Copies of this chain bind each other. A is one copy, B any other.
Amino acid sequence: MKKNLTLKQIAKELEVSVSTVSKALKNSEEISEATRQKIQAFAKLYNYKPNNIALSLKNRKTKTIAVIIPEVVHHFFAMVISGIESVSNQKGYNVIICMSNESYEREVINMEMLASGSIDGFIISLSKESQEKKDYHHIKEVINQGMPVVMFDRVTREVYTDKVIIDDVLATQEAIQFFLSKERKKIAMISTPDYISVGRLRTEGYIRTLEQNDISVNEDLILRIEDETKLTEQLENLFDTQDFNALMAVNEIYAVAALKVALRRGIKVPEELNIIGFTDGIISQHSTPAISTVKQNAFKMGEISAKLLIDKLEADNEHEHYITEVIGTELLHRETTSL
């Protein structure tokens, strides 16, 4: 792709805001004559070509928000969507959802398709592959054109924008600390590979809590699930080879799968094994025994993401000012923990 001069680059060069550049190029009378001339001359000199994104962004509002998520099979993402829909519909915005299916390429294709004119802004949670590749040029490009983007849950420090997350390290520490307070020190951790930000942070919370309590970390007790079709097989192997009396899982599917393997082996839950999962979804609620969990407030995460985006869309002036909102979590005891 030929690299074009962006609004942002012009703004940086001339030490003015992106908004000023945009308005000056449209000859808006909000901008002083002198500044307009300077910016227009600069743009002409460097052969600046406004692209579709910038044009559609600045010229019309579609009142539509695009959400790009890895998948909808996990209840967590379905609940975030519900939260986004709730706030957006209330404020008169439509919501369009695209799936990246954990693929970097599909994430890029979807963003490009949507950014080319049909929406006002993005809410995105990164695909596994984008996190693995650490390639976020597609998101940066959209932001550079002045289109607001809010990231949630699976975020990256490399993109400077509004973010909504939970404190994954702290939430996990609270759960692990609970096990330790009950003298359960042999704790298994069912996580994702480290390139998934939330998995890495939760594993970090697990390790940090053990270290703070002077318990040595046994790497064999940490399962990083690369391929979910082999989840049960890997769990069976963990139960076969390791000895533990507590188990933490980074999502509810891993938690319920571990519970099922334990019950099939005649292990008494919670007497012999305590289990805490993440995500307070229908699986955790309806399983027997019901699973204790770190409640992530996915619905609230969606609400806040939509609110941040719409605030940016409706702001009179653009500040280059971004916030990261951390949603509180809650350790919810049900039937898989002994109190």
Binding site for B on A (CB under 8 A): 62, 64, 71-73, 75, 78-79, 81-82, 85, 89, 94-99, 101, 106, 109-110, 113-114, 117-118, 253, 256-257, 259-260, 263, 282-283, 286-288
Report yes or no: B96 in contact with A96, Cβ–Cβ below 8 A.
yes
Beyond A260-B288, A263-B288, whether A99 also contacts B118 by CB under 8 A is no
Report yes or no: A99 in contact with B95, Cβ–Cβ below 8 A.
yes
Beyond A260-B286, A288-B263, whether A95 also contacts B94 by CB under 8 A is no
Q: How close is A297's CB to chain B, nearest CB, in angstroms?
A: 16
Instruction: Give chain A's interface secondary structure class.
Output: helix
- Residues in B whose Cβ lies below 8 Å from that of A113: 62, 64, 94
Q: How far is the CA of A256 from the CA of B285 in the complex (A)?
A: 10
Report yes or no: A99 in contact with B101, Cβ–Cβ below 8 A.
no
Nearest CB in chain B to that of A103: its residue:
B89
Q: How close is A150's CB to chain B, nearest CB, in angstroms?
A: 19
Q: How close is A278's CB to chain B, nearest CB, in angstroms?
A: 15
- Residues in B whose Cβ lies below 8 Å from that of A81: 72, 99
28 of the cross-chain contacts (CB-CB < 8 Å) are: A62-B113, A71-B78, A71-B82, A72-B72, A72-B78, A73-B75, A73-B78, A73-B79, A73-B82, A73-B282, A89-B101, A94-B109, A94-B110, A94-B113, A96-B96, A96-B97, A96-B98, A97-B98, A97-B99, A253-B282, A253-B286, A257-B286, A259-B288, A260-B286, A283-B286, A286-B287, A287-B287, A288-B288
Q: How far is the CA of A253 from the CA of B78 in the complex (A)?
A: 15
Nearest CB in chain B to that of A114: its residue:
B96
* Partner of A286 from B114, B118, B256 at Cβ < 8 Å: B256
Nearest CB in chain B to that of A92: its residue:
B109
Q: How far is the CA of A144 from the CA of B78 in the complex (A)?
A: 33
- Residues in B whose Cβ lies below 8 Å from that of A286: 253, 256-257, 260, 283, 287
Nearest CB in chain B to that of A264: its residue:
B288
Nearest CB in chain B to that of A82: its residue:
B73
- Residues in B whose Cβ lies below 8 Å from that of A71: 78, 82
- Residues in B whose Cβ lies below 8 Å from that of A82: 71, 73
Nearest CB in chain B to that of A257: its residue:
B286
